[in-house]
Structure 1
Amino acid sequence: MTTLFDGHRLGDLILPNRVVMAPMTRVRAAAGGLATPSMATYYAQRATAGLIVSEGVQPSPVGQSNPGTPGLHTDEQVASWRPVTAAVHANGGRIFAQLMHGGRVSHSDTTGLRPVGPSAVPADGEVFTPTGPQAAPVPRALETAEVPEHARSYADAARRAVDAGFDGVELHGANGYLISQFLSSNANLRTDHYGGPVANRIRFAVEAAAATVEAVGAARTGIRLSPGAAFWGVEESDVPELYARLLSELAGLGLAYVHLEATADEGILVGLRRAWPGTLIMNPSVPMGPKQVGRADADHWLGLGADLISFGRGFLANPDLVERLRTGLPIAPVDEATYYQGGDAGYLTYPAYRHTA
């Protein structure tokens, strides 16, 4: 039986275990969306993961969702990431950059630009800005001729990611951000070939993935999805059909992996596992949900056919999470107040497990 500590081939990489560090926003980037020395230390501390997926990285200025997040659309940003990827590799790790275009989940106070989306429909709730939370604005609906350039922005950022030393990229197609907005049946009210029936609503995701594969290769390209989730007010009709059709199209591109969140009934997720012929990463939790993933959840999903298991919050307070899972050591709790406060406290200050005599 497959265990969490068996190796796995992912594209051109050999992973020493099946533990994935999930992408998590930490808003520790410097001005200009630059990665920092502290970020290099943070990721290097967690390099025993079979694979690290970075925090969401904006592929373009208008794609930035939150203040304090890093980018991959300038030469300066690329240069700032090189010490991060080098530190991970020096510690024996592998790291993909998650490419995250926020779409309508943004604000002009953050970017200086009006947010864009499939349609002029605002997200539910408040978005983060440099002066605090504000109501989500009405985005500008993209013209049909503009949509391909936003799909290509993922590919452009992917090229920069590889130049910066990343082993690959993960397209953020989940949690109510731009790809998810196009998949939606209420954020996407378009009447052109990007809206309406399932075949049209998956088009943007497929075009973004295809452009990225052309740019850096299928072995370096993954995608994260949250079937049926309602983040930022996104709704999806025909969830089983929508995602089965999407996975069928993505399978033709030969992506390195699909990364699913447990946002749908287990039966639906198992069906998607069967529909996807390649590597499946499963996150048995919901972002910001009440449940933190543990060893039992990982073993359950490995038994259901997942290849890799991603852990989010567990990695925040446990840089040595792989060893704790392997040996049954206690999982340290995380201080939620330090998630987004900036600085090194609650970022670099969590120690590895200290054995006592």
Structure 2
Amino acid sequence: MPPPPPPSAGRGRCILSFAAARDRCFSHRFMRAGLRPLAVPLPAPGDAADTTVHMWVPSTPPRNPLLLLHGFGASATWQWAPYLRPLIAAGFDPIVPDLVFFGASCTRLTDRNDAFQASAIKAATDAIGVPRFGLVGVSYGGFVGYRMAAMYPEAVEKVVLVCAGVCLEEKDLAAGLFPVATVGEAAQLLVPRRPEEVRRLVRLTFVRPPLIMPSCFLWDYIKVMGSDYIQEKTELLYSLIEGRQLSNLPKLTQPTLLVWGEQDLVFPMELVHRLNRHLEGNSRLVVIKNAGHAVNLEKPKDVCRNIIEFFKEPITEASNDEKVCKLWAAV
């Protein structure tokens, strides 16, 4: 997923913040699409909530909710803005949360695993009165989405995973399957703190990265979008990868679509073939050419078309019942 930015003393800094302006632009696009921002405090034993999930939700009760989970990088608005209007035009109601420690979502709890992320997002969807939904997860969001689908099969109708290497094992790093050989290197790659680290990430995730990436813009991006919760994000990655084994990965019961960039260097194609075998006929694979790990940003029209077609296919069970409208009115 595209990268982040902390300024250094006077070096290559922009007077105006391009990243902040772009962030506001994405938020306006969400509002123009009919979504509104909502901070959902999750129930806690004490007087105050320990966890808050920030999410963008439809202004009216969703009839065909589709949960969109972002990957590492900037907040959800940066990664899902191109998808809103096509999905809404196709009859879907996007619900777009920031995962914990991204955007405005945070927690005081010490849990860092994907099961905690899954339970937090599920609690937030329950709180807004959406008990059942389709799910799309990109990269790290796919790890969380996979865990959600396994933990809450009654809530998740169908699943789309976009370049989400959930079948990876920790031993794959040492075996040379990835551009990094240790969890620490993976964390340094995915939580960049300097312009040269951002450039490396962009060049790994895009087939056609920008030819020019000025340091002042990268520092600005890091400062605005990537300087919060660096330690916590690093801990998320350690929790995700350390000790990971395919034998411990549950098999999903929901119909699952796997969308992959053919030239993904972060999670190579070997992983999606491994996942396809693991799901034993309950999944199908779409490979998008001339795209890498950031296929959702390089080829948004192709990815979105496949998402829409997949979710338009008949579902045997009915979607949310009428009680959603009553719950929504109370939010």
Q: Name the TM-score class by shorter chain.
A: 0.3 to 0.5
Return the structure number with greater relative CO, CA threshold 8 A, min gap 6: 2
Could you tell me the TM-score, scaled by structure 1's length?
0.32
Could you tell me the TM-score, scaled by structure 2's length?
0.34
Q: Answer 1 or 2: which has greater helix percent.
A: 2
